[in-house]
């Protein structure tokens, strides 16, 4: 099993969610987060004064999938999140040794 953690623009989240649902992903965890990558934020003007916005709003989507569907999920996420501009996001992959469904005590791929 593999955990996919995708950091995407908030305005691209719905497209990412729909792409994963279309792929058959049944569960996901979604968090509103703030951060920056190489762009280090940007400068804005508010009431005539400039200020730096160094932590930008993002959405983190986490899913755990069987290994045979991971590449399809990566393609779906990257396709839905893509704008071609700096700040489109990142996808991180982690190996998952085991999972346990609390209600039924199922383990491994049965639990996801």
Q: 55-82: per-residue pLDDT in tens?
A: 889 999 999 999 999 999 999 999 999 9
Answer yes or no: is pLDDT of 33 > 90.
yes
Opening angle at CA 29, ends 27 and 35, nearest 5: 150
Query: According to the model, what pLDDT value does residue 59 have?
Result: 98
Q: Which residues pair with 64 in a beta bridge?
A: 3
8 Å CB contact between 16 and 77: yes
Burial class (CB in 10 A: 0-12, 13-18, 19+), 73: buried
H helix or E strand, kind and range, residue 2: strand 2-8
Q: Specify the higher pLDDT residue, 12 or 37.
A: 12
**Domains of the chain: residue spans and CATH:** 2-111 (3.30.70.120)
Which tokens sit at 66? 């069987």
Answer yes or no: is pLDDT of 51 > 70.
no
């Amino acid at each position: 099993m593999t955990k996919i953690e995708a950091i995407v623009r908030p305005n691209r989240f719905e497209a990412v969610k729909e792409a994963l649902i279309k792929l058959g992903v049944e569960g996901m965890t979604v968090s509103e987060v703030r951060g920056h990558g190489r762009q280090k934020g940007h400068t804005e003007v508010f009431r005539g004064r400039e200020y730096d916005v160094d932590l930008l709003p993002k959405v983190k989507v986490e899913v755990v999938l069987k290994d045979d569907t991971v590449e399809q999920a990566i393609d779906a996420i990257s396709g839905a999140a893509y704008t071609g501009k700096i700040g489109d996001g990142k996808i991180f992959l982690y190996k998952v040794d085991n999972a346990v469904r609390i209600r039924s005590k199922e383990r491994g791929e049965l639990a996801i």
